[in-house]
Chain A
């Protein structure tokens, strides 16, 4: 019973490098989210998707791109990493909106040097 799985769990990048974080869920959920967690800031929404083939910007989308080509996967891309993107990234998914629980992945620790 995997739930929400994120890869990789840890990564160190040099400034300017690119990378993709993969989120996979096996619960057939329509809604998927990417958050970043920073000390003293809580969790902030980067991008989200309300279904396969759809994506939308959240609170802090700059510097990130996303894709939802398959319902079960939600990819978060950093085209040119910056030290300000050093953070813990959490993916989450939900069957729907009101009344539906949002489930989180284990997090991906990203350091940009």
Chain B
């Protein structure tokens, strides 16, 4: 079964502290992994995708196929990083093309 697990509902850190938002997935084939961010009452925005291997707003994520993980990391959190973060999966070769989402982690960065 295809599944995305984000074990933390809420993650609270102080400004300047490192952040790691965990994401584990279950998928039998070859997946695409994404991180989407949702600021308060706004639309979801694509933050990262594993195939691009880029850093956006200081965030990075590495796909670890052995551990089936795609954790999101940032070395120094900023207050403006406070938002809801969703890890999502899409299977290569699927006809639907839809994303399967985790339940999300709310990141709160305190001053």
Q: Are A40 and B96 in contact (CB under 8 A)?
A: no
By size class, the interface of chain B is 20 to 34
Which residue among A35, A42, A44, A94 has the maximum number of chain B CB atoms within 10 Å of its CB?
A42
CB distance from A67 to the nearest CB of B (A): 18
Restricting to B82-111, which residues have a CB under 8 Å from any CB of A? 86, 90-104
- Taking CB atoms, residues of chain B closer than 8 Å to A102 are 46, 90, 97-99
Main SS at interface, chain B: loop
CA distance A42 to B95 in the complex (A): 22
A97-B42 CB under 8 A given contacts A41-B103, A43-B101: no
Q: Are B101 and A97 in contact (CB under 8 A)?
A: no
Q: Are A98 and B99 in contact (CB under 8 A)?
A: no
Q: Which residue of A lies closest to B32 (CB)?
A: A98
Q: Which residue of A lies closest to B45 (CB)?
A: A104
Q: Are B44 and A98 in contact (CB under 8 A)?
A: no
B43 at the interface (CB under 8 A from A): yes
Q: Are B101 and A42 in contact (CB under 8 A)?
A: yes
Select which of B51, B97, B100 is within 8 A of A94 by beta carbon.
Answer: B97
Q: Are A31 and B103 in contact (CB under 8 A)?
A: no
CA distance A100 to B98 in the complex (A): 11
- Taking CB atoms, residues of chain A closer than 8 Å to B44 are 43, 90, 104
A105-B43 CB under 8 A given contacts A98-B32, A99-B51: yes
B9 at the interface (CB under 8 A from A): yes
A43-B43 CB under 8 A given contacts A31-B97, A98-B97: no
Q: Are A42 and B94 in contact (CB under 8 A)?
A: no
Contacts A42-B104, A102-B98, A106-B42 known; 5 new A-B pairs at CB < 8 A: A31-B97, A45-B98, A90-B43, A92-B99, A99-B51
Which residues from chain A sit less than 8 Å from chain B, CB to CB? 4, 31, 33, 35, 40-45, 48, 50, 56, 58, 90, 92, 94, 96-107
A-B contact pairs, 24 of them (CB 8 A): A41-B103, A42-B101, A42-B102, A43-B44, A43-B86, A45-B98, A45-B100, A48-B97, A48-B98, A50-B95, A50-B96, A92-B99, A97-B94, A97-B97, A98-B32, A100-B97, A102-B46, A102-B98, A103-B46, A104-B36, A105-B43, A106-B42, A106-B43, A107-B42
